[in-house]
Chains A and B, each alone.
Chain A
Amino acid sequence: MTTVDRFWRVFAREVQAAVRTRSFLALTLVTGVAIFGVATAGGGPAGGYVPTVVDVLVVVEILVPTLAFAVGYRAMADPIARGELDVMETYPLPTWGYVGGTYAGRAVVLMAVVGVPLAALGVHVAMTAGPETSVFASHRGVDSPLLYLRFLALTLLYGLVSLSLVVLLSVIAGSRSRALVLALAGGLVLTVGGDVAVFAALDGGLLTSDSLGGALAVTPAGAYRGLVFDQVLYVAVPTRSSFVSGWLATTALVGWWVATLAGAAAVAHLR
């Protein structure tokens, strides 16, 4: 039996626990209602995929970290409080394997909670929008299901990054009550903190309008938003160009993902 086998054991238990937790099903339904409500109110689904993304982007940008915190804030705080992490140290499973397995299991839950409603919205668009949206466009200026798939993929990546930050905070908290407080603080930092910091730096002269795009691209929310504009919205609008560097935003998102997960494993190991 290898460390990878043990990793999958932890992963499978997380998924199994989630399947038995009805509140996650309720969370998925509520998310669906919220997303469909916003999209329908904006009229996007009748217009196509890109108008739908325009309608839901702001809500999704806030909703995804919020859902990540709901799914993950107890992920490591509970095992630490239960003493399970101490017991696990006596098993031939490195701390990173336990943290990673727990994270991966919760990630599946989050992907379902976020992905299912968004995928359903995509299907809804396919059934309600005009026939011109049904083509898989290979050139700019045309709405396409491919653009919506990009939006879905970027949103799921943003969810994974949000969840890894939540798991890090959960390890640091070490108890359910502290985890809740840290999760709320982390949610605020993730959703508005980055933008506020960047604009404060701009106001204070630390940034210029030339470096604004780069600064926005290194915050998780800014990177996600920038990539959605670059890879989804502006693709359908040939005259517009991205306000952040695509490679910088991608690097930043992946960097946040890897750094926070590695941080969670390191903090758990050093506890």
Chain B
Amino acid sequence: MTADPSLSTDDLTKSYGDVIALDSVSLDVPASAVTGFVGPNGSGKTTLLELLLGIERPTLGTVEYNGPEAVRRFGYLPQQPTFRPGFTVAETAAFYAGLVNDDPDRLLDTVGLAAVADRPVTGLSGGMRRLLGIAQALAADPPVVVLDEPASGLDPAMSERIFEVIEAIAAEGRTVVLSSHDLPLVERTADYLAVLESGEVRATGSPASLRERTGGPLHETFTSLLAGETSVVTGGSDE
């Protein structure tokens, strides 16, 4: 994608028995930019994110981290973040911040949860749980933040708020990698996109360059790519 990637994958493959979750994916994740992985359910987005993080081990291929050395290289928001019951928002933030000598109040301020610091985590809405998950992901100020479906299942207003937070943390110069089904918000936020289907990368590029392929909004490009219009894919792919 660019000459300055934070992460690079080479022939990255992950299989579970006979099922290939990810097939020979080679791509670069540019530094200090937002990269979005889009694709239908089961296309391999989460597997790719987990391989980038090192949570999953690849069957074949490699992931190379080229970012700066840091106490914590990656921040990570899992798809359905849940927190240990019995603790408040402030205590939960303090636990994660305490692991890396960070300030929990700073983390909560960043995501706008300072006002509910005394609320039990079990009393949080789904959106607030995501925000607390993002706060946790920002502990130690990692250079790369990976967010798996940060707004899935949320109402439009909360989705908007989540993406505003993502834009704010990206504006501080971090590399952000996210997966999402919310194409309008991804199109607005992401600098680069990778479209995945059946474990393969169908196309990569900026939202504008992908949109130009069909001349319409991003969801039309997305639909046409997944419908197998290979001429569109091969005609303008950055890979």
Contacts and interface: CB of A to CB of B under 8 A. Distances in A.
A21 B85 CA distance: 10
Interface centre among A1, A16, A20, A90 (most CB of B within 10 A): A90
Contact of A9 (B95, B136, B140, B142): B95
Contact of B74 (A78, A90, A93): A90
Contacts of A78: 84
Interface string A150-176: 000000000000000000000000000
A90 B101 contact: no
B76 A86 contact: yes
A59 to B, nearest CB: 31
A90 B82 contact: no
Interface centre among A9, A20, A91 (most CB of B within 10 A): A91
A206 interface: no
A13 interface: yes
A93 B86 contact: no
B82 A83 contact: yes
A168 B156 CA distance: 43
Interface string A13-44: 10011001100000000000000000000000
Contact of B76 (A16, A17, A90): A90
Contacts of B80: 83
B72 A91 contact: yes
Interface string A62-98: 0000000000000000110011101101111100000
A6 interface: yes
B78 interface: yes
B53 interface: yes
Interface centre among A13, A20, A79 (most CB of B within 10 A): A13
A93 B142 CA distance: 15
Nearest to A86: B55
A1 B76 contact: no
Contact of A21 (B71, B75, B86): B86
B228 interface: no
Nearest to B71: A92
B100 A91 contact: yes
Interface centre among B71, B84, B99, B139 (most CB of A within 10 A): B99
A87 B84 contact: no
A82 B81 CA distance: 7
A139 to B, nearest CB: 51
Contacts of A1: 99-101
A90 B87 CA distance: 22
B99 A86 contact: no
B98 interface: yes
Contacts of B98: 9
B54 A89 contact: yes
B84 A13 contact: yes
A89 B82 contact: no
Interface in B64-112: 71-76, 78-84, 86-87, 95-96, 98-101
A22 to B, nearest CB: 11
B78 A92 contact: no
B50 interface: yes
Interface in A75-128: 78-79, 82-84, 86-87, 89-93
Interface string B3-22: 00000000000000000000
A212 B83 CA distance: 49
A92 B55 CA distance: 13
Contact of B50 (A16, A79, A86, A91): A86
Interface of B: 50, 53-55, 71-76, 78-84, 86-87, 95-96, 98-101, 136-137, 139-140, 142
22 contacts: A6-B99, A9-B98, A79-B84, A82-B83, A83-B78, A83-B79, A83-B81, A83-B82, A84-B82, A84-B83, A86-B53, A86-B55, A87-B81, A89-B53, A89-B54, A89-B55, A90-B53, A90-B142, A91-B72, A91-B139, A92-B71, A92-B100
